[in-house]
Amino acid sequence: MIRIQPEPFDPGAELTRLAAGQSQAGALASFVGLVRDEGGRLIALTLEHYPGMAERRLAAIAAEARHRWRLDAVTILHRVGRMRPGEAIVLVAVLAPHRAEAFAACEFVIDRLKTGAPFWKYEERSDGAGWVETTAGDAERTQRWEA
């Protein structure tokens, strides 16, 4: 399931929904990304996306994960719009027969999403405002999946 929405979501409810009726799965791995306030300066984070293209890119990332690992289900839920520090911004959840597949696939999906999906972040800070660039660390994490 792929969803992009402005409304807050409940990670626990989403994980319960994903696992419902999936008795063949042995592992559920998830990642919840939060709006981070480094140094207490962030007022808000606004996320923009390219509608249509963003959903297609997330679906392609999920399909690539399914190709690499045996997975029972993949959920990617991403918020857009204005958010405050501490709010959930993204959920990646993976159901698989075994934990190693679930952990690896979950990490793969969030790494690919961070650098390969058409989302843009704009920070409002007490000391100014501006667009957030992809970090070298994010690019390096994504590169390791190329090997």
**What is the pLDDT of the chain when averaged over all its residues?**
93
- CA angle 107-108-110, nearest 5°? 65
CATH number assigned to the domain comprising residue 83: 3.90.1170.40
Cross-strand bridge partners of residue 23: none
CA angle 10, 3, 85 (to 5 degrees): 50
Element (DSSP H or E) covering residue 116: helix 99-116
pLDDT tens-place string over residues 82-110: 999 999 999 999 999 999 999 999 999 99
Number of domains observed in the structure of the chain: 1
Tens digit of pLDDT for each residue in 22-61? 888 899 999 999 999 978 899 999 999 999 999 999 999 9
Domain that holds residue 34: 2-146
